[in-house]
Amino acid sequence: MEGAAMGKGRQFSLGCVVVFVALFSLIVGCTNKTDNDTSQSSSLVMQGKELFMNYCVHCHGPSGVGDGFNALYLDPRPRDLTDSIEVFMGDLSNDDIYGMILSRDIMDPEESERLLDEALENDTELPFLVPPAMPTFKYTLSDAERWTLVAYLRTLHKNDAPQVDIPATVSTTRPIVSGRKVPSWDMAEEEKITLVERGKALFSDKYNCVGCHMIAGYGGKVGPDLSQSGRRLASDWTYQWISNPQAISSDTKMPNLGLSENEAKAITLYLGTLVSPSTS
């Protein structure tokens, strides 16, 4: 009798344990599922945030309102990504942010070269080659990385855009510019003068390098003051660096601007002429 009672008791507690385990795994299963969904999107946002903090924060500011320390040196001022005063970002589609902003195509080098030469020849005002001050990240970050930036930017302003989802087909490798052979710096004085002038125009008007670099007291402060680059920097190094900064320093804030060989040569020669003392 006593034994049978014990058996029943055991059966009951065993039953309780089974039911409890079943319920518990059901709950855990469900929460895990939702966890997976949110953790996937939050991990995209986190990756995007990390990139933002390296490549964007100095101009757009830590909260994205456009108050980075370098904003002071920029005209136009950096975009307020939070839309606190006017709605701009909120009206853009995810594709707009990805394509028009982060992956913007800079004018074809041959086309800009032609326009510059024309202006230099006719002694007319140099054409302002690319309107927005912000560099493209097309040549610096992988397609997937630029999408993670979209995911992060979406958390900064009100919007009805669908949640960013990166398909497996999107490339995760950064664009690679193979090591460029340094050109010869021997050339006729006249050719050098033309290239230096072209380099100067590319530096200030096409690629807006002054947004981040100061020359003789004018320009931004994200990167080094280049006022003395002519006596500081070795031309071969400058050429390699501006052609592909990430090949020399993988985590540098300087984006790869996608310079053509001719453009990199012209800008290197221009920087080589800068020897005035720094005023900063």
Judged by the rule CB under 8 A, the positions of this chain that interact with other proteins are 57-58, 68-70, 221-224, 228, 231-234, 236-237, 241, 248-249, 253, 278
Number of CB atoms found within 10 A of residue 223's CB: 18
CA angle 267, 273, 276 (to 5 degrees): 125
Nearest to 66 by CA among 80, 48, 50: 80
CB of 156 to other proteins, least distance (A): 18
Is residue 238 classed as helix, strand or coil in its secondary structure? helix
For other proteins, which is the closer residue by CB, 104 or 180?
A: 180
For other proteins, which is the closer residue by CB, 57 or 141?
A: 57
Does residue 79 contact residue 92 with C-beta atoms inside 8 Å? no
Does residue 152 contact residue 49 with C-beta atoms inside 8 Å? yes
For other proteins, which is the closer residue by CB, 163 or 280?
A: 280
Does residue 203 contact residue 116 with C-beta atoms inside 8 Å? no
For other proteins, which is the closer residue by CB, 126 or 220?
A: 220
Q: What CA–CA distance (Å, rounded) separates 136 from 105?
A: 7
CB of 201 to other proteins, least distance (A): 25
For other proteins, which is the closer residue by CB, 175 or 230?
A: 230
CB of 234 to other proteins, least distance (A): 5
CB of 231 to other proteins, least distance (A): 6
CB of 172 to other proteins, least distance (A): 24
Spell out the long-range contacts of 90-93 with Cβ–Cβ below 8 A and sequence spacing 24 or more: 90/157, 90/158, 90/159, 93/161
For other proteins, which is the closer residue by CB, 35 or 236?
A: 236
CB of 209 to other proteins, least distance (A): 15
Q: What CA–CA distance (Å, rounded) separates 213 from 226?
A: 6
Cα–Cα distances in Å, from 245 out to 117, 221, 242?
A: 27, 17, 6
